[in-house]
Every structure is written in structure tokens, then in C-alpha cells.
Structure 1
Amino acid sequence: MSKTVFKNPENPIVLKVRNFKDTEAKRPSFDHSNALITVTKSPDPDWKYGDGVVINAPAQTLTHTEIDPYTPGRPMVHNYRLLVSGIAPRPIGFLSTVSADGKTENLAPFSYFQVIEHDPPMFIVSFSSRPGRMKDTYQNLKDTGECVINTVSENMIEAVNATSIDAPRHISEWDISGLHKAPTTTVKPKRVRESVFSIEGKVVDIKEFKSHATEGKSIAGSALIKATRFWVREDAANEKFSHIDLNKLRPVGQLGGMAYGRISSTFDLLRPRWDDEEPKSELLTRLANQTHN
């Protein structure tokens, strides 16, 4: 019987996965061919304004259950599992940081992460409440205000997943993962050389949710990070370094439970502009006339 460790807002859970290696052995092998990502038509190329969504049942028959996330007796782990399975896929924030004394270099993945602005380039990473002391990455951000955000590609995922291990504070996940350090210019933490895209960043603000603090657990918080430098692998970018080739990035997204997802196909959709679309659509024209009247 093998064990897979998950860290979540309620407490560290050790899920006993019965004969996981036997189950995994029956699955198809991972496709290492690096075949080009297919670009297909959109799901409904003939869609028109007002068409809604084509589903297997009338929208009126779909029912939902209302959930108060703060209902007494509802375990927070239920909210965690609901959110990570329902908000998917999610990018992985792979952060490198350094301790305040400079003696320990930390490397860890986070699923509560996102880019939120491009001018200036801003990112947010959140840290869940957990039993005992706060996560090393969070402590390092609070102490030093510096980090590097590294992207995660398919070929890195085992090494990245290994850095989520609950290692003692003085042990560096760089050694555990076997990933290689690359120099930075505006922050002390090193970037991951294997990452296609890395961002040096400094903390602008930290918000802690003390109103939800529970005795014996660390405080949940979010860090707002402003980029100070970009690092892009040369063979993965265009001449102006304004675009990264998806076939080189090969990003991995987090899903619910212990599942990850890869991109095998994409499709394009134009962003609509009212002035272009209104003359071509009876619905938009009618709506415009109703507004004027």
C-alpha cells in the first residue's frame, strides 16, 4: 500500500491509495512524442448571439444546491475539495525563496496562484491555514519580500511534485528535486533553469485573514507580488520576446484531488466588438433599439 500526501486548508491528509502502483501500471504510458498541439475549430462555430449553450437537458431542468461555506459543522476540507475540483485547471505557482538568514533556499509549488495584471506585471499567491507553523515560502516572503515564480512544464512535473514534501525547514527542496539553479539580477532567490519562463518578483503587500484564525493553525494569507525581471528560454519565444510557443511551454494544470492536466488541443475565438457585430445581428440591433426607446 503506497501513500500520497496532500496538503490542504484543513490539515495534512495522508490518503492511502490501495495498490496505486498496480493501478497506474494498467494505464496507458505518457505520450513523450511532443507531438504538435492540435488546433481545432471552436465547439460550435455556427453559434449566434442569443443561442445560449447546447446541453443534453433543458436549462430549466438543471438544479443546484446552495452551500454556505461557513455552515457550522461543515469541515473546511469540504470547501477545499469542492474548490480545487470545481475551479480547474489552475496554474501552478512554483516559487523559489530564501530564508531571512540566507542559509536555506526553498522551492515549492502552489495551486492558489495567478497573474492578475500586466502593467505593472502583478501576481498573487495564497497560503492556506495549516496546523503548526506557516509554510516556509510564506515565512520567507514575509521576511525578505523576494521570490522567483517559475513556470511548470510536463517534463518537470515529477520534480516539482517532489518539492511539495513536508521536509524539515533546514532542508532545501532544490536538493530533493534535482532541479538546477540559474542566476537572478534583482532578487536573491535563484530561478529554475529547467523552466521555460521565470519571473523575479518583490512583495508589494500581504493580506492576512486573522478573522478566520484557529488555535494551533497558521494564519491564512495572500501575497501580492510585482515582477522585476522576466527570463524566457530563447528557443521558446518569438523574435520580440512577446510570445511563448505553447508547444515549447507544454504547461501543466492542477485539477481536483491528485490529478494534473496537459494541453493536447486548442481552439481560437475572436474577441467581439459591438460596432462590428451589432450591424450583423438582429438580436443585437433589437437590443440596441430597445435601449434607445
Structure 2
Amino acid sequence: MTTDAPKPEWREVYASRQLGGFNETSNHEATDYNHVEIDPYETGRQLRSNYRLLISAVVPRPVGFLSTLSRNGLSTNCSPFSYFQMFNHDPPLFIFGFASSLASPRDSLRNLVETGEGVINIVSEHMLEAVNAASINAPYGTSEFSLAGLEPAPCSVVKAPRVKDAIFSIECNLIETKEYASKIDPDKVTCTTAIVEGVRFWAREDAINSKSDHLDLEKLKPISRLGGTTYGRLGHICDMPRPQWQTSDPVGITNTGPS
């Protein structure tokens, strides 16, 4: 359910103090503590500590549930990735981060590179257990569709199947990949990013509006990735229109602009 912003009175307080005024409704307790500086490459610090810290801090992260097809067309694969995000809409662009090199790729990366295509499936509450089951380290050629009890469905542009259980899916073509080396061992590739472009969208008919430009969150119920082995469910949602600069406003801003 959408609610008001946590502090709807903030605008009035800000305006009363003119430009740059202090937000008197802030949580002062949050600024009463000192901060600890962390060098990610401090002597004796394990790299896994950086991983654990970052996945617990940069939250929530969307789950990129990627389904692919092998080059020979004989096996399918679907795996969840939390190093995933959308970063443009024209063209629709998405990025995945794989903890492997192109020389020794994970199954999804191998299929994506060899075929140049895949499908992003948005993870909803009703399919979380199956998605988690699909993260198993099964040998190449094993179909996580079967292991997790997920149903494949045909796509329009790409040969890889989408996950029919997903409320929203995106057919994608691979645009480019880039490898990144370890700061500790420059000869070791620790990450490969893949940028893909969305070429077709699939939305469950009861979850999309008549203009096909908005999904019902009460139907989508998206799942996010948090720290450790923790996932997050959608909680309270607040509606906060984006401020627009107005020269007629004594403070210079107004909250009547589009979100």
C-alpha cells in the first residue's frame, strides 16, 4: 500500500529556514555517531570481508533471474544474480556482473556469450523458493527449470525460453562484455560484466494496465536481495513527487512536479 512520505512536514520546515535551511525534522541520533574508515585493501583484510560488507550495505538489489539456452540448443539454464541492474530505457539496457572470467565462465555467462541472447525474469514472492533452488551449483547442461519446477515458455525474438512463472520478463540481446582483474592479483579475472539490451517485454495480463506502461505492485510483489542469504519482500511504499525548481517559490523549490 502506498503511503505518504515518512516526514510530510519536511517541506514546511525547510521553507521556513530559507535556502540551505537545516531540516529540523531529521533524526539527530543518526549524526551523533562517528564513522569507521575502512580501506578495502588494508593489510590483513580478507577480500571476502569486502564482499560481505558491500552486499549488506548496497541494498535492496533487484534479482536478475537470467534464463539462457546452450549453443547446441539441447540444454536450458536459469540462475539468479544479485549483481544486476537496469540503467537506461532508450534503448532498454541492463547489466549483469558474473564472478568468473570469459575463459572459465559460469553456465549462464557461457550460454549468453555463445548465443548472444537471454531472458531476464523478474522474481516475485510466489516463485522465490524455486528461484533459490535454481541457484544450486549443478553441472553444466543440467536444467534448473526441471530442478526448480519452473515452466519454460517460448519467446518472440530470442531462442532462449522465458520463465512462465514470472509476471514480467525481458527478452535480451548481448551488447558487450568486459573483464575486470583483481587488485591483489592483476593476472586473475574476478568479474565479467555483460550489458544486454531488452528487445521484447512480457507482462502477465492481470498485472499490466491498459496502456502497457505500468505494472501493479500488488500483483508483481517483487523480491530483492539483501546481505548474506537474506531476501527482502516489498514493505511500505511512500509516494514522493520529484521537486521542480520554481522562480516564484520563495525557497526555489516545489514538490508538485512529476515523480
Q: What TM-score comes out, normalization by structure 1 length?
A: 0.77
Deviates more, 1:217-226 or 1:263-272: 217-226
Which position in structure 1 is the counterpart of 2:150? 179
Distance (Å, rounded) in 2 between the aligned partners of 1:178 and 1:232: 21
Q: Describe the superposition over 1:49-76 as per-residue Cα deviations: whole angstroms up to 9, x where unpaired.
A: 33446214273x3311222212233211
Which position in structure 2 is the counterpart of 1:204? 175
Task: Give matches, 1:17-56, under 5 Å.
Answer: 38-48=1-11, 49=14, 50-52=21-23, 54-56=26-28
Cα-Cα RMSD: 2.2
Q: Which residue among 70, 78, 82 is the counterpart of 1:111?
A: 82
Q: Describe the superposition over 1:19-61 as per-residue Cα deviations: whole angstroms up to 9, x where unpaired.
A: xxxxxxxxxxxxxxxxxxx2222110010333446214273x3
Which position in structure 1 is the counterpart of 2:256? none
Deviation of residue 249 (structure 1)? Answer: 0.3
Which position in structure 2 is the counterpart of 1:126? 97
Deviation of residue 261 (structure 1)? Answer: 1.1
CA distance 1:106–1:144, change in 2 (3 Å) = same
Distance (Å, rounded) in 1 between the aligned partners of 2:232 and 2:173: 29
Distance (Å, rounded) in 2 between the aligned partners of 1:176 and 1:157: 14
Q: Describe the superposition over 1:167-224 as per-residue Cα deviations: whole angstroms up to 9, x where unpaired.
A: 1112111110111011112111100001111000011110101355859976411001
8 A Cα contact 2:181 2:189, kept in partner:
no
Distance (Å, rounded) in 2 between the aligned partners of 1:218 and 1:100: 24
Task: Give matches, 1:71-110, under 5 Å.
Answer: 71-110=42-81
8 A Cα contact 2:182 2:189, kept in partner:
no
CA distance 1:188–1:202, change in 2 (3 Å) = same
- Secondary structure in structure 1 of the residue aligned to 2:111: helix
Deviation of residue 135 (structure 1)? Answer: 1.1
Which position in structure 2 is the counterpart of 1:280? 249
CA distance 1:215–1:207, change in 2 (3 Å) = closer
Distance (Å, rounded) in 1 between the aligned partners of 2:97 and 2:40: 18
Residue segments in structure 1 that go unaligned for 5+ positions in a row: 1-37, 286-293
Q: Which residue among 40, 48, 67 is the counterpart of 2:38?
A: 67
Deviates more, 1:203-212 or 1:107-116: 203-212
- Secondary structure in structure 2 of the residue aligned to 1:235: coil
Q: What TM-score comes out, normalization by structure 2 length?
A: 0.87
- Secondary structure in structure 1 of the residue aligned to 2:109: helix
Distance (Å, rounded) in 2 between the aligned partners of 1:209 and 1:249: 34
8 A Cα contact 2:69 2:159, kept in partner:
yes
* Bigger helix fraction: 1
Distance (Å, rounded) in 2 between the aligned partners of 1:58 and 1:114: 29
Distance (Å, rounded) in 1 between the aligned partners of 2:67 and 2:182: 29
8 A Cα contact 1:133 1:218, kept in partner:
no
Which position in structure 1 is the counterpart of 2:17? none
Which position in structure 1 is the counterpart of 2:120? 149
Counterpart code for 1:155: H
Distance (Å, rounded) in 2 between the aligned partners of 1:57 and 1:68: 26
- Secondary structure in structure 1 of the residue aligned to 2:80: strand
Identical columns (%): 46
Q: Which residue among 199, 205, 209 is the counterpart of 1:238?
A: 209
Deviates more, 1:132-141 or 1:152-161: 132-141
Q: Describe the superposition over 1:215-255 as per-residue Cα deviations: whole angstroms up to 9, x where unpaired.
A: 99764110010011111111101101000000110101111
User: How many residues are matched?
Assistant: 243
8 A Cα contact 1:213 1:220, kept in partner:
no
CA distance 1:78–1:211, change in 2 (3 Å) = closer
- Secondary structure in structure 2 of the residue aligned to 1:166: coil
Structure 1 residue 265 and structure 2 residue 239: aligned?
no
